[in-house]
Amino acid sequence: MSNKVIIIGSGIAGIATSIRLACQGYDVSVFEKNEHPGGKLSSFTLGDYRFDFGPSLFTMPHFVDELFTLAGENPRDHFQYKRKEIGCKYYWEDGVRLNAYGDNNRFLEEVDNTLGVPKHQLQNYLEQAQKKYNRTVSIFLEKSLHKLDTYLNKTTVKGILHLFSYELETTLHKVNTRRLQEPHLVQFYDRFATYNGSNPYQTPGMMTLIQHLEQHYGTFVPEKGMVDVTNSLVALAKRKGVQFHLNTAVEEIVIERQLATGIRVNGTIRKADVVVSNMDVVPTYRHLMPTQKAPEKSLQQERSSSAVIFYWGIDRSFPDLDLHNIFFSDNYQAEFDAIFRDKTLFDDPTVYVNITSKDVHGDAPAGKENWFVMVNAPHDTGQDWDALSKTLKKQVLDKLNRNLTVDLANHIEEEWVLTPPLIADKTASFTGALYGAASNNRMAAFLRHPNFSRHISGLYFCGGSVHPGGGIPLCLLSAKIVADLVKTA
């Protein structure tokens, strides 16, 4: 059996892969260019306020718990979280307000009472989403799409026989419009396309399965903030013998006769039997393997959306807001046209406000709040982000002021602004795209880069830029796929 494994990058997928391979008996080392592990899943402070840097939504926590169980530990001894009663609060410009309750019956009642959509209509929609998920999870999420044996079992055959029901030939928006009709609820469910950086007016109707995941599994918050996902798993990895090398940028993946034999760091070759890249797949090829033939069809796919994020320390509290809050654009299609077609920001953006101090003790001083204010943006193609973000700040403040009846600018004590070029610089995400490739066509899942190299033995890939996609749950699944591939190689 191969013994020594090197993992490039300590994003959540790299950390999870290190744990799984260490549990399989491998000698694992992780190399990270930054001074801290976690990639996007890290944190920082501004004055007296603590902020999670990146992913703010925590769902399907059993994927994290599974890593502790795999290592023979009780997850509750090391990582604590709670389920939210309200997953998110939604605000529209016409005054409609909707609470997305975690309890399914309560949510159905909320939609019926607020939007006039009968319970049975929405329940049917969610049941159809669940069927899609159950029929496709073993094909699209839990195994490599690019290995023949994935398709040689009864579950996969059954899933393929239901291919017509996946609504690949239409868009998420058209499915939502046909089945839900009520415009607020259509926009509500169109938003789920942004969970993997895609456009609801282009991404296929199959994407309704994402709705099932959040409604079925619920929304959670880690007791110590999102960064505790990273911290607790890094601690677990170290207990299993994984070595972390921080502030250590990998310069090259060493390839000898189409075999990955190690890496070069600080001019020194570090040998390995297996190399796993948790780095974005595009710079992995362009910078770490520039002489190797790259899979251009995969690498040149349309990029996902990025974001502009305002981190604000607010000197007062807002009791009506919760952990997750959405303030919708009045013209959703125009907003996505601006992002994906025109590669710019829309002048009436949808604004997401995440306030972890609602649930995480110490994230803000008493009576104050830490606001993570995010607007979906195009990936970086050379736009003037300083000018765009200054204009955007005014638009965001105007929207929040209207909806909350406040002059918010007078309450901002601390501020930092994150733009797509900064995301690219800090996380090596190509062009600042948060999820690698977008899923704006029906073949996107098959075009996404596989978790292994077709031409270089001993080389594997995990993380949001490869199969099965971006977001914490899918990154954790990519780690499982890689560990299984290495084990059976």
Domains of the chain: 4-41+61-74+225-299+445-488 (3.50.50.60), 42-60+75-102+305-434 (3.90.660), 105-217 (no CATH)
Cβ-contact 414, 49 below 8 angstroms: yes
| pLDDT < 70: residue spans in the chain | 1-2, 138-166, 168, 442-446
283-316: b or e for each residue (b if 16 or more CB lie within 10 Å)?
A: ebbebbbeebeebeebbebbbbbbbbbbbbbbee
Specify the pLDDT at position 208: 79
In 10 A of CB 109, how many CB atoms? 13
Cβ-contact 34, 426 below 8 angstroms: yes
Specify the pLDDT at position 99: 98
Best CA proximity match to 467, nearest among 133, 139, 75: 139
Between CA 207 and CA 203 the distance in angstroms is 7
Specify the pLDDT at position 157: 47
Specify the pLDDT at position 168: 67
